[in-house]
């Protein structure tokens, strides 16, 4: 913990100033995946340098150094992660940890045929995404809530309550497509990276915090807390667009996802089955309208896809 | 086809159906300002307009279009410009269900009806379950298995670039 004294106030001001100036100078570069990470990293190095000097002297960013406080700690047998630029394997390990926690709250529905069916649909849709190479895993979990979750590296879960609202395969494909979109765009991963890099920045004065944050199990916080958190609205809209695009490319009727958004929108605000969903997502009406703007006339010349209600798997209970 | 789907949805939710008898002639409301066209095509003649929030009666669906009746016109509008169902009756229906199942109000399960929620608190308190992750991973399908499954359903890939965000859409 930082003590609230003049020094830490100065340091905080310094961190803000450095971040602001870096953000300003980098604002034209919008496409870099690891922009957040790069900024934080640069800021951190700059902060380190400046803390060693007089707090009043503002200096330009120091030349690139090869090591940071985080990568110089000793190797341990526990799973660790390079937060600046996580590898695919690290991303998967992170997603697995989150998934295990989520499944600790709501286990899989014990129905092999259901799980295999959902994995078949999901795998086909994921194959039409930009990351067909991930080992995609799908699961229907025991909950009567209406919700779905994605974790980094290709883990996707939907609740039984949401599955029950569906009446055909195109709708399932659309919903899974939305979650696949989150994974492809690395929305949750970026939230975690940002948080960890900020923690590390704050933890520079506390070696233990910086060290602990290397470990996946410690880094994701308490349980599946990350899954109960909101992403930016723009991330949800992006996942809607991607989900609809993937399902359409897969040969499904394009409006499966919007069918489900319609059903969600008809669920009362006070119904507890949508409490978490409505807390963490823009209202379905807003999502439909925004998706409609993006669709425009883009689907006018696309051959109608399949809904496949005939083979849609019916829940046993 | 669309009617069949709607029928299936209705059939699988008798409770909602009961509470929403008015949906027999399905109602909807406009999510944005848009045009009503004579036929379900982008270049069909515009025969009217509606504003966000206007009530419409939904008559039929064709591809990406809904045939609707407003107080002034009957014509075709884009599917995603309309919210289906009247929000008022939807809320009442869900509210009644929530009360019936003891889940009204707080977002917490308030009685033990066997209904299981998934709150932020429950997620936060969750403990890692290795056996369940392994079970989930055991159902994993390969890309080629996915392809076989698609072929069995007659699914064919379509060329369709990812949708892009539109700035200043017709909200």
Q: How does pLDDT run across A254-304, given as a tens digit for each residue?
A: 999 999 999 999 888 888 889 888 888 989 999 999 999 999 989 988 888
Contacts of A85 (CB under 8 A, 6+ apart): A34, A37
Higher pLDDT, B70 or B88: B70
Confidence of residue A232 (pLDDT cuts 50, 70, 90): confident
Q: Which residues of A touch B116 (CB under 8 A)?
A: 106, 142-145
A185, A192, A278 from A229: Cα distances, Å: 17, 11, 11
Contacts of A174 in chain B (CB under 8 A): none
User: Using an 8 Å Cβ cutoff, are B92 and A269 in contact?
Assistant: no
Q: What is the pLDDT of residues A123-172, one digit of tens each?
A: 999 999 999 999 999 999 999 999 999 999 999 999 999 999 999 999 99
Size of interface A-B (CB pairs under 8 A): 277
Of A121, A144, A295, the CB nearest to B80: A295
> With an 8 Å Cβ cutoff, are A101 and B127 in contact?
yes
Q: With contacts defined as CB-CB under 8 Å, which chain A residues touch B170? A: 293
| B68 within 8 A of B35, measured Cβ to Cβ | no
Do A249 and B108 lie within an 8 Å CB cutoff? no
Distance between B75 CA and the closest CA of chain A, angstroms: 17
A111 touches chain B (CB under 8 A): no
Closest chain B residue by Cα to residue A220: B124
CA distance A238 to chain B (A): 7
Q: Nearest to residue A149, comparing CAs of A255, A281, A309? A: A281
Q: What's the pLDDT score for residue A63? A: 40
Closest CB to B31 among A224, A271, A289: A289
If you average pLDDT over residues A39-49, what whole number do you get?
Answer: 50
**Boundaries of every domain in chain B:** 2-88
Residue A285: its chain B contacts at CB < 8 A? 31, 83
Q: Is the pLDDT of residue B107 over 70?
A: no
Band (B90; pLDDT cuts 50, 70, 90): very low
What pLDDT digit, counting tens, does each position of B116-142 carry?
668 888 888 888 999 999 999 999 999
What is the model's pLDDT at position A240? 97
Minimal Cβ distance to A120: which of B130, B149, B164: B149
Residues of B in contact with A104 (CB under 8 A): 126-129, 132
Query: Using the beta-carbon criterion (under 8 Å), do A136 and B140 form an inter-chain contact?
Result: yes
A126: nearest CA partner in chain B: B143
Q: Are B64 and A126 inside 8 Å of each other by CB?
A: no
Cβ–Cβ below 8 Å for A309 and B5 = yes
Are B70 and B54 in contact, with CB atoms under 8 Å apart? yes
In the stretch 179-238 of chain A, residues with CB closer than 8 A to chain B read 217, 222-225, 227-228, 234, 237-238
Mean pLDDT over A6-10 rounds to: 52
* Two structure tokens written together for A303: 């051959």
Chosen for mutation from A30, A31, A97, A104 (greatest number of chain B CBs closer than 10 Å) is A104
Architecture of the domain spanning B2-88: Roll (2.30)
Q: Which of A100, A244, A307 is nearest residue B129 as measured by Cβ atoms? A: A100
Q: What is the pLDDT of residues B49-81, one digit of tens each?
A: 999 999 999 999 888 899 999 988 899 999 999
CB-based contact, A46 to chain B, within 8 Å: no
CB contact A311 to B (< 8 Å): yes
Residue A122 confidence class, pLDDT cut points 50, 70, 90 = very high
What DSSP assignment string belongs to chain A? ----SHHHHHHHHHHHHHHHHHHHHHTT----TTHHHHHHHHHHHHHHHHHHS-TT---PPPPP-S--TTTTSPP-SS-B--SSS--HHHHHHHHHHHHHHHHHHSPBPS-HHHHHHHHHHHHHHHTTSS-TTS--EEEEES-SS--EEEETTTEEEEEHHHHHT--SHHHHHHHHHHHHHHHHTTHHHHHHHHHHHHHHHHGGG-HHHHHHTTBHHHHT-STTGGGGSPPPHHHHHHHHHHHHHHHHHTTB-TTHHHHHHHHHHTS-TTBGGGHHHHHHS--HHHHHHHHHHHHTTTTTTSPP-B--GGGPPPP--
- Percent of chain B beyond pLDDT 90? 50
Quote the CA–CA distance of B110 and B103 in Å, as a whole number: 6
A105, A271, A294 ranked by CB distance to B118: nearest? A105
Mean pLDDT of all residues belonging to chain A: 79
Judged against a pLDDT cut of 50, whether residue A184 lies above it is answered with yes
Residue A238: list chain B partners with CB under 8 A.
165
pLDDT for res A29: 40
Pairing of strands A137-141, A155-159: parallel
Query: DSSP characters for B57-77?
Result: EEEEEETTEEEEE-SS-EEEE
The terminus-to-terminus CA distance of chain A in angstroms comes to 50
Residue B169 has pLDDT above 90, yes or no: no
- Give the per-residue pLDDT at A62: 39
Does the beta-carbon distance from B158 to A251 stay under 8 Å? yes
Contact B43, B65 (CB under 8 A): no
Set of chain A residues whose Cβ sits within 8 Å of the Cβ of B141: 116, 119-120, 122-123, 136
Q: Is the pTM of this model over 0.90?
A: no
């Amino acid at each position: 913990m930082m003590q609230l004294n003049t020094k830490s106030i100065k340091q905080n001001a310094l961190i803000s100033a450095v971040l602001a100036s870096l953000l300003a100078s980098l604002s034209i570069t919008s496409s870099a995946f690891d922009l957040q990470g790069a900024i934080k990293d640069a800021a951190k190095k700059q902060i380190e340098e400046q803390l060693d000097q007089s707090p009043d002297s503002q200096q330009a960013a120091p030349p690139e150094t090869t090591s940071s406080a985080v990568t110089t700690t000793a190797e341990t047998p526990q799973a660790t992660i390079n937060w600046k630029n996580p590898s695919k394997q690290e991303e998967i390990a992170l997603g697995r940890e989150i998934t295990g926690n989520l499944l600790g709250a709501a286990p899989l529905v014990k129905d092999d045929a259901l799980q295999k069916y959902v994995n078949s649909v999901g795998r086909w849709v994921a194959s039409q995404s930009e990351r067909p190479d991930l080992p995609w895993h799908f699961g229907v979990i025991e909950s009567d809530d209406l919700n779905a979750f994605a974790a980094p590296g290709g883990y996707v879960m939907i609740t039984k309550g949401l599955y029950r609202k569906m009446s055909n395969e195109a709708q399932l494909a659309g919903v899974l497509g939305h979650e696949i979109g989150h994974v492809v765009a690395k929305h949750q991963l970026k939230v975690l990276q940002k948080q960890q890099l900020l923690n590390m920045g704050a933890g520079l004065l506390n070696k233990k915090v910086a060290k602990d944050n290397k470990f996946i199990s410690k880094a994701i916080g308490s349980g599946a807390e990350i899954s109960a958190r909101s992403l930016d609205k723009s991330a949800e809209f992006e996942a809607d667009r991607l989900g609809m695009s993937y399902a359409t490319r897969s040969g499904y009727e394009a409006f499966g996802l919007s069918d489900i958004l319609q059903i969600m929108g008809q669920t009362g605000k006070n119904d507890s089955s949508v409490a978490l969903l409505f807390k963490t997502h823009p209202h379905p009406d807003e999502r439909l309208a925004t998706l409609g703007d993006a669709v425009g006339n883009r689907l006018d010349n696309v051959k109608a896809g399949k809904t496949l209600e005939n083979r849609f798997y019916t829940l046993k209970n | 086809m669309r009617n069949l789907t709607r029928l299936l949805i209705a059939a699988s939710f008798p409770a909602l159906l009961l509470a929403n008898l008015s949906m027999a002639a399905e109602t909807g409301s406009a999510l944005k300002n848009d045009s009503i066209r004579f036929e379900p095509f982008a270049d069909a003649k515009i025969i009217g307009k509606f504003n966000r929030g206007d009530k419409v009666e939904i008559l039929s669906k064709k591809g990406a279009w809904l045939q609707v009746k407003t107080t002034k016109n009957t014509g075709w509008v884009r599917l995603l410009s309309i919210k289906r169902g009247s929000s008022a009756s939807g809320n009442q229906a869900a509210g009644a269900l929530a009360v019936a199942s003891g889940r009204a109000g707080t977002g917490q399960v308030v009685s033990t009806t066997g209904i299981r929620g998934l709150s932020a608190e429950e997620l936060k308190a969750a403990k890692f379950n290795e056996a369940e992750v392994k079970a989930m991973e055991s159902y994993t399908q390969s890309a080629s298995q996915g392809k076989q499954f698609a072929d069995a359903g007659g699914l064919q890939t379509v060329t369709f670039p990812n949708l892009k965000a539109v700035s200043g859409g017709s909200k």
